[in-house]
Each structure stands twice: as C-alpha cells, then as structure tokens.
C-alpha cells in the first residue's frame, strides 16, 4: 500500500513573494480553482494581515474552494490570528497556518526574543487559534538552522496545544539532502505526540536543492510537502510542485508513495501561472520546460523513434504536454462553436470574458493560417491576465525606420474620454511608450521589457511582458498578439492598470 503524500500548494502565498509578482483577486481566484482541479490537498491562499487585498483574496478563495483545505498564514500573535481566521472562516475546510522563527539567528536579530519567550508564544498562539479553528498548522521558521532539542520542545508544546500539522522548513535553502533526511528523522523519532499529526516539509531553492530536500524529508517520514507551481517563491523559490509530484509518480514502486494530483494538468496550469505572473519558465526546466521532451541529437532521435523509453522516462501525455495539433476551429467558426470547444477542454467562459476571447480568436484567424490548441490556450490565458481596464488601448500608429526618428500616436480610452497623444523616440517601442506616458499624464518607470513567441510557426503569436515600478513595487503586464507593437502597448497598459496609475 502506497503512503499518501499530501500536497500543500503555496503558489498564492510564498509564490506571490517572488520578486515582481503581484496578483489581483481575479487572478488569484482563477489559479485557486485550477489548483483545486489539479487535486492539491491544501491551498495556501495568502497572508491576510499583510494587506487589505490579501485579506479579500483569501476570503474569496475560502468561499469558492470546496475540496481542498484553504490555509491563511499568520504570525503567532492574536491580531494576526484573528485576521487570518476572519478571512478563512467560510471555507469548507479552513486551516490556520501559524509561524514563528526558532533559529538562534532569527530569535536574536529578528525577534529579539529568548527561547522561553518563543516557546510560550508558539504554544499560546496555537491554543488561541484552536479555540475557533480545528485545523492548525504550526511552522517553525528557519527550522533547519534551529537547535534540534529546542525544536522538539517547541513541537511537543504546540502539538499538546492542538496543532494538527507541524512544518519543518528549510527557510533559507541551506540543507543538504542527507542532512535534511537525518534532521526530519530526528524530529519524527524524538517528538512526543508527532504520530498524531502531519509532518510537513517546506524547502527553498537557494542552492538548487529544494526538490531533492523535500524528497529526503518525505523519505524520512514527512507526510506533507509544501511547494509551488513552476517553483515560484521568495528569492530562488520553493520546491516545484510538478517536479516533486512527478518524482513520486515516476518512482512510486521504489518510494511506495502516491499523491492525489492529476499530473495531466501540469502543462496547462504551468502556462497559466506563467502568463498571469509574468515569470517565464526556463526551457530546460524539468517536466514543464519547452525542451523537456525535445530530442536534439541524431542518436537520441533515432532511439526515440524506435522505442520511446530509450530516452523518455515519462511521457509528454502524462504531464499534459500540449500536442501542437490543429483544431477544428477556423475563420468561419461562430461564437457558439468556440465556446463549445473551450468547454470541451475544461474552460468555462461566458459573458464579457467569452466575448473578449472570441474577438481575439477571430482576429487570430485573420492573421494565422492554422489555429492550434496552443494558440487557444494562449488566448485564454491572455484574457485571464486582463485586469480591470481603467485605461484601454483603442488604436495606435507607428512610423519607424533605421534612418529616421520614430513617431507614434496612441489613442487611449479612460472612462468615457478618448485621449490621443503622439511622441518621438529612438525606436518604435520607445516612442509608443512615451506617447502612452503623455496620454495618462504620469511618469512610467519601466523596469523590464521582454518578448517571446508562445506558439510555433512563422505566424506565431508573440507575448510581451512589461514590468514597471510604482511606489517600490513592481507591476507586471503581459499581452499577446500577432503584432508586436499591439502586444507591447497592451502589456504596458495592463501593468499601468495593475499599478493603478490613475
Ligand atoms: O520559508 C518559510 O519558512 C516560510 C514559513 C512562513 C512557512 O515560508
Ligand atoms: Zn517559505
């Protein structure tokens, strides 16, 4: 009998702490629903005390998600716990996730507390949370750099106070897999009452070992893994959910473990998270990278053509790698056929969202000879990442050449008002962006601009990602089009709308 490993997804909390990632309510809700469909056991929806926006997102996710636990992060203080519970209380399965640091370095420099104080605070916080929430996860922040004996004391106290899960994070990604194994085993073997709770691991990727360390943790007795789609997270990120699950799936005979995850949804959810966050996946990334199933050398190609298992240990189908097959939709397809196609693929759009996606699809059929599944996916993801449109691009004109100063004119809608502005610049994008800056009458602090093709062929769709800075925060906008200037302007306007540069 395989041991069931619970998957705790933190894309919306630790993942949102990825530099430059800032998700709004609509985006978080869509990702949460997809995580639920993926089969994750726990969705960590956010840190309600951090901001009003975080609080609202956690509350809405808690109300919409039915099958997964919805966890809200909070520090070990009454005010944090109250706020977190208020956000998560309507969930079908609410969880409070209380944390306090336990390493000497954190206690001395960050908390300015002694061991006894931390012990007391941890115990009191869990006991307080337990008065209104049955499911309490307790995390000892920077656990791996903490004194083992002290950690055992903390865990025994919080288990007695009612914790149902104890989490042992490698917060700074410092562990080596064999040391982390020994560490988890020590805690599991020496903590009284631990057999009655779930033991969780949460590994950061600073030395590129988050997945290896998480695996060591579950081999040593942990029953829950905390991870994020595409390995998003603070600094170098968290363990990548798709990698850890595929290790368990591919090596299940040796590991004797399994999860509840539907791995065939990996490619779609990875693309969705990438489109919404603006954080691209490296091509050589395991499982969901563009090259994960490409065979370049002649010897490998020959081997795979003769027998796939020569060079493929997992199949592209098992992770939902989109077959770039043409689809039956085309120039003459109507709105209904388009909607039926989406529904058949598990995408439920209606009203304005469907209208907008259909408009994009129609434009695409004018530009592209063949429409593939990848094109439709890209359109749907582009639509999702659209934010409330305070500003909207109506039209633009660009005159450019290598021996002239480029000139752009943009027409932008703001409420009922249409604003038209022109500007010159060193290049077409620079002049168009300056024209937008004039139209909105605000300085735009452009931090990054990048472009890539998201589908295949000569008439591939291009995706532009723009990052701007406002009030010490980075806001990202991505947009898709067969026309690079249109994608550039829409990406910039999405970033401006997110930053609320009104
Ligand atoms: O990395 C960490 O220690 C965390 C905790 C809050 C669980 O993210
Ligand atoms: Zn973390």
pLDDT tens column, 26-38: 899 999 999 999 9
Please report the atom of ligand 1 found closest to the CA of residue 143. Answer: 3
User: What pLDDT is recorded for position 192?
Assistant: 98
For the Cβ of 138 lying below 6 angstroms from any atom of ligand 1, the answer is: no
For the Cβ of 169 lying below 6 angstroms from any atom of ligand 1, the answer is: yes
For the Cβ of 455 lying below 6 angstroms from any atom of ligand 1, the answer is: no
Confidence of residue 308 (pLDDT cuts 50, 70, 90): confident
Please report the atom of ligand 1 found closest to the CA of residue 14. Answer: 8
Asked if residues 177 and 207 have their Cβ atoms less than 8 Å apart, the reply is no
Token digits of residue 382: 């582009």
Query: Nearest to residue 132, comparing CAs of 91, 66, 82?
Result: 82
How far apart are alpha carbons 130 and 164 in whole angstroms?
Answer: 10
User: What pLDDT is recorded for position 353?
Assistant: 84
For the Cβ of 478 lying below 6 angstroms from any atom of ligand 1, the answer is: no
Residue nearest to atom 8 of ligand 1 (CA): 14
pLDDT of 495 over the 70 cut: yes
Strand 69-75 with 42-46, pairing: parallel
81 to 47, 63, 77, 164, 249: CA distances (angstroms) = 10, 18, 6, 16, 36
For the Cβ of 237 lying below 6 angstroms from any atom of ligand 1, the answer is: no
Ligand 1 centre to CA of 143 (Å) is: 9
Q: DSSP H helical segments within 251-334, as ranges?
A: 252-255, 266-277, 298-306
pTM equals 0.91
pLDDT of 325 over the 80 cut: no
pLDDT of 74 over the 90 cut: yes
pLDDT single digits (tens) 138-152: 999 999 999 999 999
pLDDT single digits (tens) 286-304: 999 988 988 777 888 778 8
User: What pLDDT is recorded for position 501?
Assistant: 79
Asked if residues 217 and 225 have their Cβ atoms less than 8 Å apart, the reply is yes
Average pLDDT over residues 468-492: 91
pLDDT single digits (tens) 385-435: 665 678 999 999 999 998 889 999 999 999 889 999 999 998 999 999 999
């Amino acid at each position: 009998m395989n041991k069931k490993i619970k998957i705790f997804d933190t894309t919306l909390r630790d993942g949102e702490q990825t530099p430059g990632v800032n998700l709004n309510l609509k985006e978080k809700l869509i990702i949460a629903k997809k995580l639920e469909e993926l089969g994750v056991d726990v969705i960590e929806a956010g840190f309600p005390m951090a901001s009003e926006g975080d609080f609202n997102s956690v509350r809405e996710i808690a109300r919409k998600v039915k099958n997964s636990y919805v966890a809200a992060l909070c520090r070990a203080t009454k005010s944090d716990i109250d706020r977190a519970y208020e956000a998560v209380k309507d969930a079908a399965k609410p969880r409070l996730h209380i944390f306090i640091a336990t390493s000497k370095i954190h206690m001395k420099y960050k908390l300015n507390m002694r061991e006894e104080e931390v012990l007391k605070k941890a115990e009191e916080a869990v006991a307080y949370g337990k008065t209104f929430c049955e499911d309490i996860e307790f995390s000892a922040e920077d656990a791996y750099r903490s004194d083992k004996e002290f950690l055992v004391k903390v865990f025994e106290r919080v288990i007695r106070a009612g914790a149902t899960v104890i989490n042992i994070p490698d917060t700074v990604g410092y562990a080596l897999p064999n040391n982390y194994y020994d560490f988890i085993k020590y805690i599991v073997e020496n903590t009284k009452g631990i057999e009655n709770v779930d033991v969780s691991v949460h590994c950061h990727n600073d030395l590129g070992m988050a997945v290896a360390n998480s695996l060591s943790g579950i081999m040593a007795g942990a029953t829950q893994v905390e991870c994020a789609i595409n390995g998003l997270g603070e600094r170098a990120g968290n363990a990548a959910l798709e990698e850890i699950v595929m290790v368990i799936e591919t090596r299940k005979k040796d590991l004797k473990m399994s999860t509840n995850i539907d791995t065939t949804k990996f490619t779609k959810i990875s693309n969705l998270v990438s489109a919404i966050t603006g954080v691209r996946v490296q091509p050589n990334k395991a499982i969901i990278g563009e090259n994960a199933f490409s065979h370049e050398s002649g010897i490998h190609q020959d081997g795979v053509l003769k027998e796939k298992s020569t060079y493929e240990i997992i199949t592209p189908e098992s992770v939902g790698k989109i077959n770039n097959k043409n689809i039956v939709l085309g120039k003459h397809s109507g709105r209904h056929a388009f909607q039926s196609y989406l529904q058949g693929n598990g995408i439920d759009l209606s009203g304005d969202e469907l209208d907008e996606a259909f408009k994009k699809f129609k434009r695409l059929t004018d530009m592209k000879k063949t429409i593939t599944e990848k094109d439709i996916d890209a359109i749907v993801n582009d639509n999702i990442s659209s934010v409330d449109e305070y500003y909207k691009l109506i039209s633009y004109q660009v005159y450019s050449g290598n021996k002239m100063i480029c000139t752009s004119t943009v027409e932008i809608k703001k409420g009922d008002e249409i604003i038209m502005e022109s500007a010159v610049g060193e290049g077409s994008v620079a002049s168009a962006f300056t024209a937008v800056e004039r139209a909105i009458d605000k300085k735009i602090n452009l931090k990054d601009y990048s472009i890539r093709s998201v589908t295949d062929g000569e008439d591939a769709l291009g995706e532009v990602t723009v990052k701007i800075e406002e009030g010490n925060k980075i806001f990202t906008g991505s947009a898709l089009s067969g026309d690079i200037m249109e994608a550039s302007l829409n990406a910039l306007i999405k970033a401006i709308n997110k930053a609320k540069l009104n």
